[in-house]
Amino acid sequence: MRYSSIPSAQLVLQHCKAKNIKNIVISPGSRNAPLTIGFSEDPFFSCFSVVDERSAAFFALGIAQQLRKPVAVVCTSGSALLNYYPAVAEAFYSGIPLVVISADRPTYKIDVGDGQTIRQENAYHRHIGYSANLKQDVLHAVDRLKKYVPEWLEGGALPELQEKVKAYNDDELNKALNLALEVKLPVHINVPFEEPLYDTLSETTTVAAPLFPERKELPGTGDMQGFVDQWNASGRKMVLVGVNPPKAIERQYLDILATDPSVIVFTETTSNLHHDNFFPSIDSILAPIEKSGDKDALFDRLRPDILLTFGGLVVSKKIKAFLREYRPGQHWHVDPTRAFDTFFSLSHHFDMEANSFFGQFLNKVRPHESDYYAYWNTRKEKYRERRKEYYAQIPFSDLSVFHSILNGIPENYQVQLSNSSTIRYTQLFDMHPSLRVFCNRGTSGIDGSTSTAVGASVYSKEPTLLITGDVSFFYDSNGLWNNYIRPDFRIIVINNGGGGIFRILPGHEETENFETFFETAHGLSARHLGKQFGFDYSVADDPNSLKSELESFYLASGAPKILEVVTSRILNDKILLGYFDFISSAQY
C-alpha cells in the first residue's frame, strides 16, 4: 500500500479512518493527488470517482442521506470547491453530515496571480458546521519554504516546528469530524499542499491523535411534567411532521397520537409516517378553507392550542401561511440539534431525538375528550371522495399522470423526488407505507436531484425510482455521468415542456417574456441523454401508452430505464387549480 509523502495528507486519512468515515467521493484533479492516492490505495475506504464536482457533492449527499453517516468529497483547488456549494447548503439545512475535503495551493500563492487559486479558506462560512483550515507542513518541500516564506522555519528545529503544525491540524480535524458525527452538519477541511504532489512512501511518517465526541445525557423525565400537564389540559393539539427518515419513529408512539381525539397529525410524503388516522394531504384540507365563505371561523377552529413538530423542513406553503396567521398558543419542536422558528411562535425546543422524547412524554399523557379530530376527519373523508370523482373526469395531464404513477410503484421501492412541481404534486396523494421517500428539501433546489438519487441508490437494498420534472432532469444531466448506476435504477421524467410550476404562481401571464424567462419553454426530449448514458428509453403521451409502459417499466433488466411522460404545457395548471375548486365545493 502506498501513502502520500505529505504528512498532512496522511493525517487526514488517519482521522477519517479513526472516525469510520469510509465512503469517499473523489473528483479528478492534480492538487488533490496526495489525498486521492491515500484514499484509493487503502482498502478500508470505498472510493467513487465523479468528474463533475457539483454532481459529486450531491452524489455523496445521497449516500449520507441513506447511511445517516458522514461521507467525504475530495476535490482539487480553485473553482472546484465552489461547485460543491449547492450540496453544502442543502446538507446544512437538511442536517446531513457531508465532509468536504479540499486541496489548496500554499497560502503564499493565493492572490499573486498563480493558476487555479481562489480564497478557499472559510469558503462556506455562512452554511457550514465548521471550517478547518489546516496548516501547511514544514517538513515537505523545505527548499520552497526557504525561498518563499523563510519566516515559517524560524523559532526552532524543523521537527519541533512540524510537531506544532501536526498538533494544530490534529485539533482542527477532531473538531470538524466530531461535529459531523455528533451534530450531523456539513464540515469543510481545507488542506494546502506544495509540490511535489505525487511522491509516495510505503510507511506513514506521522500518527494522528483522534479524539471522539462524548455522548450527551438525555434530559430527565422530570423536566417534562409541566409540558405533560399543558398537553393533558388542551383540547386541540396539532402534530406536524416534516422530512423524516423511514421507520424512524416507533409504531407504539404513532398509535398513541393517532387515537387521541384531541390530536390531529399532519404528515407529508417526505415524513414517511403512515396511519389511517393521520392527515397526509395537508393542502387538500387547507385549500377548501381558503375558498370558504367562513374562512376565518374555520381557520380559528383548526388553530391548535399546542403545535408539536419534529422532522425536517415542511413542503406545504399553505400550512406555513395558516400557522403564521393563526398562530398556535405554543409551538414545541423536537430535534437533537436545532429548531427553526418556522411559524414565528416557537416556545420550546426539546433537544433530543423524537423517539427519546416520545418515550419519556407519551407514557404520561392521557387522551382528552374533544371533537377536534372527529370534525376535521369528517372533512378529510369528504375531500377524499371528491378527489376520486375529479381524477375520474380529468384529461391526460400532470395530475392524472402522478395519480397513475404513484398508484403503480412496486412495494418497498426507494422513491427519490425532484423539487418544484414534482414534490408538490406528490403531496396530493397517499403513498404505500412500504415506500421510502426522499427529497432535497433543505434548500428545495432542482440542481442535484438526479445526482442525489444515484448516490442514494448505491447502498439501497431495494431498487430506486427517481420521479423528476423535465427542467430538473436536464439541469442535472451530469448526475448520470458516472459508473455507479444500477440496472434496477428507474427514472420517470414528467416532461411538460418547461417550468410548469410558474403557471400556478402569482404573476403568470401568457407572454413571450413569461415563456422565455420564467417558464423556460423548450422542446427537448430525454431520449438522446438516455442513449448517451446507457439507459433503456420509452415514452408515453396518453393514458393508454402510460398504462402500457408502466406494466413493463419495473421488470428486471440489464440496463437502467428512463420513462418520459409528455404532457401539455398549457393544460396542467388549469387541471391543478381546478382540483382545489372541485374538492372545495363539497357540501357538509
Question: Domain check: are 374 and 257 in the same one?
Answer: yes
Classify residue 16: in a domain, yes or no.
yes
What are the residues facing 415 on neighbouring strands? 437, 465
**Domain of residue 81, residue span:** 3-196
Mean pLDDT of the chain: 94
Classify residue 206: in a domain, yes or no.
no
Question: Domain check: are 48 and 91 in the same one?
Answer: yes
What are the residues facing 491 on neighbouring strands? 466, 562
Confidence band of 216 (pLDDT split at 50, 70, 90): low
Classify residue 426: in a domain, yes or no.
yes
Q: Cell 427519546 sits at which residue? A: 356
Q: Cell 401571464 sits at which residue? A: 509
Q: Is the pLDDT of residue 46 over 60?
A: yes
**How confident is the model over 456-491, as pLDDT tens digits?**
999 999 999 999 999 999 999 999 999 999 999 999
Classify residue 204: in a domain, yes or no.
no
Q: How far apart are CA 245 and CA 436, in angstroms?
A: 8
Classify residue 368: in a domain, yes or no.
yes
Q: pTM of the predicted model, to two decimals?
A: 0.94
Question: Domain check: are 456 and 499 in the same one?
Answer: yes
Question: Domain check: are 357 and 438 in the same one?
Answer: no
- 405-428: buried (b, 16+ CB within 10 Å) or exposed (e) per residue? bbeebeeebbbbbbbbbbbbbbbb
Question: Domain check: are 564 and 420 in the same one?
Answer: yes
Confidence band of 427 (pLDDT split at 50, 70, 90): very high
Q: Is the pLDDT of residue 154 over 60?
A: yes
**Residues 6+ away with beta carbon under 8 Å from 195:** 141, 144
Question: Domain check: are 405 and 371 in the same one?
Answer: no
Q: DSSP for 528-549?
A: HHHHHTT-EEEEE-SHHHHHHH
Question: Domain check: are 299 and 268 in the same one?
Answer: yes
Classify residue 202: in a domain, yes or no.
no
Classify residue 474: in a domain, yes or no.
yes
Percent of the chain with pLDDT over 70: 95
pLDDT at 214: 78
pLDDT at 122: 97
> Which one, of 123, 219, 140, 132, lies nearest residue 176 by Cα?
132
User: What mean pLDDT comes out for the span 537-551?
Assistant: 97
Q: Which segment of 141-155, 203-217, 223-237 scores lowest on mean pLDDT?
A: 203-217
> Which one, of 208, 173, 189, 177, lies nearest residue 70 by Cα?
177
pLDDT at 87: 98
User: What mean pLDDT comes out for the span 112-130?
Assistant: 95
Question: Domain check: are 21 and 157 in the same one?
Answer: yes
Question: Domain check: are 371 and 442 in the same one?
Answer: no
Count how many domains the chain has: 3
Q: Residue 226 belongs to a domain with what CATH number?
A: 3.40.50.1220
Question: Domain check: are 445 and 560 in the same one?
Answer: yes
Question: Domain check: are 501 and 463 in the same one?
Answer: yes
Percent of the chain with pLDDT over 90: 88
Taking CA atoms, 25 is separated from 322, 427, 460, in Å, by 42, 32, 17
User: What mean pLDDT comes out for the span 108-120?
Assistant: 94
Reading the block at residue 438, the C-alpha cell is 426522499
Query: Of 322, 343, 378, which closes a domain?
Result: 378
Q: How far apart are CA 309 and CA 350, in angstroms?
A: 10
Yes or no: say if 136 and 144 are a contact pair by the CB < 8 Å rule.
Answer: no
- 494-527: buried (b, 16+ CB within 10 Å) or exposed (e) per residue? bbbbbbbbbbeeeeeeeeeeebeebbeeeeebbe
Question: Domain check: are 299 and 410 in the same one?
Answer: no
pLDDT at 395: 94
Q: Residue 520 belongs to a domain with what CATH number?
A: 3.40.50.970
pLDDT at 108: 96
Q: Give the torsion sign (CA, 206, 200, 144, 193).
A: negative
Query: Of 316, 344, 378, which closes a domain?
Result: 378
User: What mean pLDDT comes out for the span 179-184?
Assistant: 95
pLDDT at 505: 59
Neighbour tally for 256: CB within 10 Å: 16
pLDDT at 502: 58
User: What mean pLDDT comes out for the span 571-585?
Assistant: 88
Classify residue 254: in a domain, yes or no.
yes
> Which one, of 189, 285, 277, 280, lies nearest residue 241 by Cα?
280
